[in-house]
């Protein structure tokens, strides 16, 4: 009898060197070998110092994406409103159609660096409406998805902060997920993170990493930023990554900063301060599998009593 054999060839680059590994396997054993090879990858979160000059923001973001890729990152995350200051008075001024100037840069940066690039968010204009939108590009520079912020940031904390995104923005109406060779990723933007149901739906749909470009402020940031990330990670036994703009004390809206990565055990494994920087995390999906085996809440859910499984059809 003949046995079908397969060869999996992987090429990795570090510095100026490239290493090619050929793995031979017979039959289905290749599948498990490939799974082990792809179970770890490096994630980079760019905490960008955003200014009022769009061209400077785009140029700096592009440079930092390249820097992250040179450090071995396979997935790179940019912050909310990475191309413009955050604020209702800025959204219409900086808004672009998609595709446009900012997404063209993201496409080129992803292709040049060979990474999956989660493009933070930008103000988007479409059909006379404005959205807070995140666009994701693959290593070939192709657009994978566009996520429009589902939950608009309308809050009023007396004596501290009042903000109404709905004064200028419209909400998105769909969940956004994409596949990579490493894991499945669910996308939210900032205030989306406060809604546990969204994270649960992503997890139930097979997402192992949730990414949230976000710009919490100096009131909600110290109170809830890390707490929410750890809660979403722990509740769903997934990795959670957030990317904030760097703090600018002179801005009309001061971002908290502290971009963070949390593992499925609820531990912070990488965290920035307030300044512009890149943080890195080695994402190990075997750790995720171990956590789910040790505390098997997925199989212990009482679906006969409750369920979070309904997604309304929508677009945009």
Rounded Cα gap, residues 138 and 143, in angstroms = 6
Phi–psi pair at 275, nearest 5 degrees: -90, 170
Rounded Cα gap, residues 85 and 66, in angstroms = 23
Record the tokens describing residue 242, joined without a space. Answer: 């957030």
* Contact between 24 and 46 (Cβ < 8 Å): no
Rounded Cα gap, residues 224 and 217, in angstroms = 10
Rounded Cα gap, residues 198 and 187, in angstroms = 10
The kind and range of the H/E element at 103 are: helix 101-113
* Neighbour-count burial of 307, counting CB atoms closer than 10 A to its CB (0-12 exposed, 13-18 middle, 19+ buried): exposed
Give the count of beta carbons closer than 10 Å to the beta carbon of residue 260. Answer: 26
CA 240 vs CA 15, 207, 212: distances in Å: 28, 10, 8
Record the tokens describing residue 186, joined without a space. Answer: 């669910």
Rounded Cα gap, residues 190 and 192, in angstroms = 5
What dihedral angle (degrees, nearest 10) is formed by the CA atoms of 33, 264, 82, 67? Answer: -40
Nearest residue to 257 via CA among 62, 47, 50, 98: 47
* Contact between 235 and 200 (Cβ < 8 Å): yes
So which residues are the catalytic ones?
80, 149, 190
The helix/strand/coil state of 42 is strand
Look up residue 191 and give its DSSP letter. G
């Amino acid at each position: 009898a003949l046995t079908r054999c397969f060869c999996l060839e992987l090429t990795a680059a570090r510095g100026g060197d490239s290493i090619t590994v050929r793995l031979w396997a017979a039959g289905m054993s290749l599948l498990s070998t490939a799974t082990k090879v792809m179970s770890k990858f490096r994630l980079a979160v760019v905490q960008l110092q955003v200014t009022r000059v769009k061209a400077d923001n785009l140029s700096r973001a592009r440079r930092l994406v390249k820097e992250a890729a040179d450090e071995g990152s396979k997935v790179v995350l940019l912050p909310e409103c990475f191309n413009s200051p955050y604020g209702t008075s800025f959204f219409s001024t900086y808004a672009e159609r998609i595709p446009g100037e900012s997404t063209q840069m993201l496409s080129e940066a992803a292709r040049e660096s060979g990474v999956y690039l989660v493009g933070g968010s930008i103000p988007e204009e479409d059909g006379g409406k404005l959205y807070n939108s995140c666009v994701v590009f693959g290593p070939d520079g192709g657009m994978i998805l566009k996520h429009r912020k589902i939950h608009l940031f309308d809050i009023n904390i007396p004596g501290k902060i009042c903000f109404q995104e709905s004064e200028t923005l419209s909400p998105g109406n769909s969940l956004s997920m994409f596949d990579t060779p490493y894991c499945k990723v669910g996308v939210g933007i900032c205030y989306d993170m406060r809604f546990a149901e969204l994270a649960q739906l992503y997890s139930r749909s097979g997402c192992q990493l949730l990414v949230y470009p976000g710009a919490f402020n100096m009131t909600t940031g110290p109170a809830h930023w890390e707490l929410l990330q750890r809660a979403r990670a722990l509740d769903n036994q997934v990795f959670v990554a957030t990317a904030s703009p760097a703090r600018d004390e002179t801005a009309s809206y001061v971002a908290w900063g502290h971009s963070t990565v949390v593992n499925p055990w609820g531990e912070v494994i990488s965290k920035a301060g307030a300044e512009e920087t890149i943080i890195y995390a080695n994402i190990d999906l075997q750790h995720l599998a171990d956590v789910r085996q040790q505390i098997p809440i997925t199989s212990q859910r009482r679906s006969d009593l409750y369920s979070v499984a309904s997604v309304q059809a929508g677009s945009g």
